Chain A
Amino acid sequence: MAKLVLSSGGSILYQCFLDGERVTLGRAPRNQVVIDDPGVDPEHAVVTTVGNDHILEDLRSANGTFVNGARVFLHILQHGDVVQFGTFFLRYLNPKASAEMDLDRTMLVTGLHGNRPTPESIPSAPQSRVRSARPTSVHFPKGRVRTLEGVRAGEIVDLDRVVTLIGRPADDLAVITRRPHGYFITHVEGRRRARVNGRSIGNDARVLRHGDTIEVAGQKLEFLPG
């Protein structure tokens, strides 16, 4: 279970498990976590539990709430976060949330009820986009292609997206795909397959290596790894 650990001067003063819906933080004695520092408001902040999340909210405190050195108003706590209150430190520990495997299992919970659309109607207005939870541990290479011939000779295109098209749509078209272990070229459409170093790429993805020459739809390009 997640918990908050309050410390000051290197010693632990108090621990609080986040098993309730709301845990209040402040200088006043009625708070669940009392922080006796003159820079802390009587009611300074609150941690709310929603599903697997513990959300820290600053209650418009005079001196603000800082997580890992950055000021926050509303923050979803992450395992290992440190919240500073004057000379006090509050650490958030949630080992379960750091092991992302468990959390990926789809589970049924009760929804939150507010002024939300009726369940039968699908909203026609664009919804705010929710960012994917892509782990930051994945690193992608940085490759480029250089045009070798024609009016655009010498022009360099960065292959900084997941796919980059080369050739001509509705004619002969190939795609260069960026993957963690390198770049690959694959045929998309058209009668004539792209050629790498003079040989047709066929139907499967073909890995690109430094200095490979690519020919597609009359263009000639050179692959340059990052």
Chain B
Amino acid sequence: MTSNFIEMAALTDVGSVRQFNEDSIVADLRIGAAVLADGMGGHRAGEVASRLATRVVQESLRTQRHRFGAAADPHSPLRAIEQSINRANQAVFEAAQAEPAYHGMGTTLSVALFFDDRVALGHVGDSRIYRFRNGILQLLTRDDSLLRDQIDLGLISAADAGASHNRSLVTRAIGIEQHVRAQLHEDDAAPGDVYILCSDGLNDLVDDTDIELIVGSLRANLPLAANHLVQAAKDNGGHDNVSVILVKVRKRPGGWFARLVGWLWR
């Protein structure tokens, strides 16, 4: 999938062990948005929560899309994300209250919205957003997880974290309480950058160094890179659902010359 400024590839897989896929992904080129959610809750309620959250975010961003872009208020994309996450939280919370089978359901949620030469990010839970730039993979989100808390408080070292049994315990999720506070962050998106949204079924099974190697090697063929990431997680055990959205920032047509022409024509 390609628009004139980004290219996207998205893949979700039930994994090698699970019966159901509780992850949901949306990659919408028209609004330049990538949305990924990893649901939780019994009797397939996790699937309901993650799907509802991604759809509400997509719809909310679509209705607000005309309000940001080149000439608009520079802060509005982040506000649009915050609002879309709040709406998703409200929708999942209300659905969980209304239907006993859905009680206690929730979901992680990661959102990336690309506009001009920037990207706005929103995050709740432990579905990560990475950026691959100039050969280096960097994690842009902080996991809302007990394991991350343990490391940050010095209770265990990052090197020992692989031995922890706490990696699936999230400390914040969509749909659990009436209000949720999301991590929000804006970043410049340079041509050649690849943004990676993934569920923990990827980063629990594939080391960051291998994610870096796969994205770095195969970024010329984004669907192949997505396919290799999911395949690597399954080859390493794949005991969770695995989802990934890759977004590559393309070179601006014309670059400085087009901008100069644009300026002369004003």
Contacts and interface: CB of A to CB of B under 8 A. Distances in A.
Contacts of A162: 210, 213-214, 228, 232
A126 interface: yes
B50 to A, nearest CB: 10
A135 B167 CA distance: 14
B213 A161 contact: yes
Contacts of B208: 129, 132
A111 B160 CA distance: 19
A85 B171 CA distance: 36
A51 B166 contact: yes
A134 B169 contact: no
Interface stretch (B67-75, B86-94, B199-207): B199-207
Interface in B202-236: 203-208, 210, 213-214, 217-218, 220-221, 224, 228, 231-232, 235-236
A167 to B, nearest CB: 11
Given A55-B156, A74-B156, A180 B169 contact: no
Given A76-B163, A78-B163, A163 B214 contact: yes
Give the size category of A's interface with B.
35 or more
Interface in A122-157: 122-123, 126-135, 137-138
B207 A132 contact: yes
A130 B161 contact: yes
Nearest to A180: B235
A136 B158 CA distance: 19
A107 interface: yes
Interface string A46-66: 001011110100000000000
10 contacts: A97-B165, A112-B149, A122-B140, A122-B183, A122-B184, A129-B208, A132-B204, A163-B213, A169-B220, A175-B217
Interface of B: 17, 38-40, 46, 106, 108, 121, 123, 126, 138-142, 144, 146-153, 155-173, 176, 181-185, 200, 203-208, 210, 213-214, 217-218, 220-221, 224, 228, 231-232, 235-237, 239-240
